[in-house]
Amino acid sequence: MCCKCTSSRTFRVLPFGSMRVGLRFVALTCRVSERVSLPTCQTVIYGLLALIVLGDTSRLQADIVWEDHYSDEDVIVNGSSFTTSTGADVTFNTSVYSDSDGGTFDLSLTRSNSDYFTFEAGQTGAHTGYLELAMDNQNNDPADYLELTLTFDRAITNLQFSLLDVDSGSWDDGVELFYNGSNNARDSSSISVTTGSVNGIDNESYMHGWEGFGSGAASNSTDGNIDFDFGTLHVTSLRIRFLSTDDANSNPGGQFIGLSDMTFTNAVPEVASSWLMAVFGIVALCGRWVSKHVWLAVPTSLFDHNQRLFLTISPRAEPERTTRSSNSRTSRSAGEAATAPVAA
């Protein structure tokens, strides 16, 4: 069965996630195959190839800009979530640990906040619009701390952000950062960490992170910021622990840190390799037919300025065949017979 259509068809597909869009693409190719009489084998191959190629559409960069999701003084509600620009969902969990050493409840609210975890529209660490972790520890007790956990519904990579205003005064800010469960960010050589001029690696035995050293940072200064770049490391969760170290005064007073906006990209789905194997299997079964009838043309520039994928599929034209009719062969045979020498 040959293809009767030789024109190219270009499809624009919005990147809503490789599997969902890929299945829509399969449905689209099925409709196209019905219109141009393409065999089922070709339709299946187009659909599977679409799933693989569309897997890369999810590698789009996302920016989490907190002011796009919160207003000033909004509480970061435990268990709340939202969807990022790449389709990745992020869920927030908040925890307050106090008197974990067997003492009294030592933490109270500060900065006129209605909760320990809020969004602030103002500036700190020279960054405007940030998530704030704030507390007033009544005693110099590092066993009292706040934890903010961000959980992503898929692996992300190239994660970058800053912890803002990690400094000291009558207080001493201490932070620990964990990813993918209990992995400490200080232990990974894949994570790039840049500290500010008023903070650095802690010298405590009870923590493994960073703390303020000696002075405070102005709200319009980056001196108290700690910048993190996770590079190619795949991240599914991030947990920030904020405490007052025992270098503070006996009653440290109010203190806070901020979490800046974040950037990341969705990691390539690991299932892509299995889809590729499936395509190879079908190509092997239908190889002779595919080599005769199917072209798959992917342009050099896969995306337009709106990040839409262009995929061009061109059925191969059936080559012309030259045949001779039986009448022609009969006439030629007759002519050859007429010129043959006559036996004496």
pTM for the full predicted model: 0.67
Q: For residue 235, what pLDDT band results from cuts at 50, 70 and 90?
A: very high
- Asked if pLDDT for residue 307 goes beyond 70, the answer is no
Q: Domain ranges in the chain?
A: 9-58+269-320, 61-266
Q: Specify the residue for token string 């993190």.
A: 228
- Asked if pLDDT for residue 55 goes beyond 60, the answer is no
- Asked if pLDDT for residue 281 goes beyond 90, the answer is no
CA-to-CA distance for 277 and 271, rounded, in angstroms? Answer: 10
- Asked if pLDDT for residue 233 goes beyond 50, the answer is yes
CA-nearest of 183, 186, 190 to 175 is: 186
Q: For residue 61, what pLDDT band results from cuts at 50, 70 and 90?
A: confident
Q: Which pLDDT belongs to residue 86? A: 85
Query: In what side-by-side order are the strands of the sheet with 309-315?
Result: 9-13, 309-315, 294-297
Q: Which pLDDT belongs to residue 301? A: 42
Mean pLDDT of the chain: 77
- Asked if pLDDT for residue 69 goes beyond 80, the answer is yes
Q: For residue 319, what pLDDT band results from cuts at 50, 70 and 90?
A: low
Q: 86-100, pLDDT tens digit by residue? A: 889 999 999 999 876
Residues paired with residue 253 on neighbouring β-strands, in sequence order? 137
Q: Which pLDDT belongs to residue 200? A: 98
Q: 187-221, pLDDT tens digit by residue? A: 999 999 999 999 999 999 999 999 999 899 999 99
Count Cβ atoms within 10 A of the Cβ of residue 336 and give its class: 0-12 exposed, 13-18 middle, 19 or more buried. Answer: exposed
Q: 122-156, pLDDT tens digit by residue? A: 999 999 999 999 999 988 889 999 999 999 999 99
* Largest interatomic CA distance in the chain: 136
Mean pLDDT across 79-84: 96
Q: Give the chain's end-to-end CA distance (angstroms, integer).
A: 55
Q: Which pLDDT belongs to residue 140? A: 85
CA-nearest of 230, 241, 64 to 166 is: 241
Pick the CATH number of 61-266 from 1.10.3470, 1.10.10, 1.10.1760, 2.60.120: 2.60.120
Residues paired with residue 147 on neighbouring β-strands, in sequence order? 95, 241
Q: Which pLDDT belongs to residue 50? A: 54
Q: Which pLDDT belongs to residue 267? A: 83
Q: For residue 1, what pLDDT band results from cuts at 50, 70 and 90?
A: very low
- Least confident window among 171-180, 283-292, 297-306: 297-306
CA-to-CA distance for 125 and 290, rounded, in angstroms? Answer: 59
Q: Which pLDDT belongs to residue 280? A: 56
Q: Which pLDDT belongs to residue 18? A: 43
Mean pLDDT across 231-236: 98
The sign one gets for the Cα dihedral 175, 179, 181, 186 is: negative
